[in-house]
Amino acid sequence: MTANLLDYDLEGLALYCDQLGEKRYRAIQLFRWIHQKGIAHFDDMTDLAKSLRDKLAVSAHVKSLEVISQHISSDGTIKWLFNVGAGNAIETVFIPESDRGTLCVSSQAGCAVGCRFCSTGHQGFSRNLKMGEIVGQLWFAEHFLRNHLHRNDRVISNVVMMGMGEPLQNYDELVPALRVMLDDHGYGLSRRRVTVSTSGVVPMMDRLALDCPVALAVSLHAPSDDLRSNLVPLNRKYPIAELMESCSRYLVHAPRDFITFEYCMLDGVNDQVQHAKQLVSLVQKHASDGVWCKFNLIPFNPFSASGLLRSSAEQVQVFAGILTDAGIVTTVRKTRGDDIDAACGQLAGDVKDRTGVAGRMARQRTMMLKPVSSFNHVTKES
Ligand code: SF4
């Protein structure tokens, strides 16, 4: 079996080249062709020696994931559904804004955490993605967008590990994937522009702080342990006090001086005035420990199995006002791509429910392909 070179960070590729009798600088050239130029065919890597290209042709390949479908929203958001085998699919989403292009990347097929408000959580866990499958989402999206927009410069300026899965439960594949994103010979993204979102796997937050401190977002969703354990079952293992302490430790190494707390607004569940006041107390209590934070209030995308409803816009504004009045920077996330689908995980769950067989996915999904050049929101790197 030949090696897929998307499965290697630069150090791994240097080792691979060494085994072929090639110097490190050849690995750097190869890495740049793959990640900076998006080239998959070794014959097109014109400054590589012919002898190396011949060796690679028989021992390696560069292959991203198979696209099942591509959905393009009227607001420019794109969702790709990728086949990861055995009836499983993952989602990747590109979100263009005026000052950035953000790619939301998946880390697992399904998820074991089982948050109540999450469609992916309701599907259960299938498997961890390999490093090449994580990086492959960025590789595909970046070079797809460049080709179709006729651009040579970078289109994706930010990556958020907020797609399907709990990234910190796939740590060993996540960290080398992050290194490729950050590597100047790869995508050259700044640590501030790569965000790992976690439901609060405390020991792995501590490891990430030392191994690869990128920006951190924590899915909080509740101000008290009782409520959070009900919404995010992992809270029973790592309760809020431990989570806050880990956030404090992370800030020592973080590229930003704040942690983002994600808070999904659920009608009548966690969106009341008392909840906002409890959050203010929680943040103030830990402020002395150096926890600086921002809140991102997320409108819930309802799906039938959840039994939950989206908070009204008025309730969200009241809630945001209480946090803001207490001096906590709070944003309300805009919903994007509403016309192509709802919550993260729903496309993939839909495929699994309806087919159960990867080979039939492409035939059974409705394709909604439009020319990408019709975007009007795709942005330049800021
Ligand atoms: S919100 Fe994240 S951690 Fe929770 S079930 Fe969904 S994918 Fe898993």
User: What does pTM read for this prediction?
Assistant: 0.90
Q: Which of 300, 246, 323, 316 is nearest to 115 (CA)?
A: 300
**Cβ of 115 less than 6 Å from ligand 1:** yes
The tokens for 113 are: 């955490």
Question: Is the C-beta atom of 198 inside 6 A of ligand 1?
Answer: no
Check 22, 91, 142, 166 and give the catalytic one: 91
Per-residue pLDDT of the chain (382 residues; tens, 9 = 90+): 899 999 999 999 999 999 999 999 999 999 999 999 999 999 999 999 999 999 999 999 999 999 999 998 888 899 999 999 999 999 999 999 999 999 999 999 999 999 999 988 888 999 999 999 999 999 999 999 998 888 889 999 999 999 999 999 999 999 999 999 999 999 999 999 999 999 999 999 999 999 999 999 999 999 999 999 999 999 999 999 999 999 999 999 999 889 999 999 999 999 999 999 999 999 998 876 556 899 999 999 888 889 999 999 999 999 999 999 999 999 998 877 666 654 555 555 555 554 433 333 333 332 333 333 222 222 222 2
pLDDT, position 286? 84
The residues, any chain, with a CB within 8 Å of residue 377's CB and separated by 6 or more, are 75, 76, 96, 97, 98
At position 268, the amino acid (one-letter code) is G
Both structure tokens of 286 = 């830990």
- What pLDDT does residue 290 have? 53
pLDDT for res 370: 31
Ligand 1 within 6 A of 311 CB?
no
Q: How far is the CA of 23 from the centre of ligand 1 (A)?
A: 42
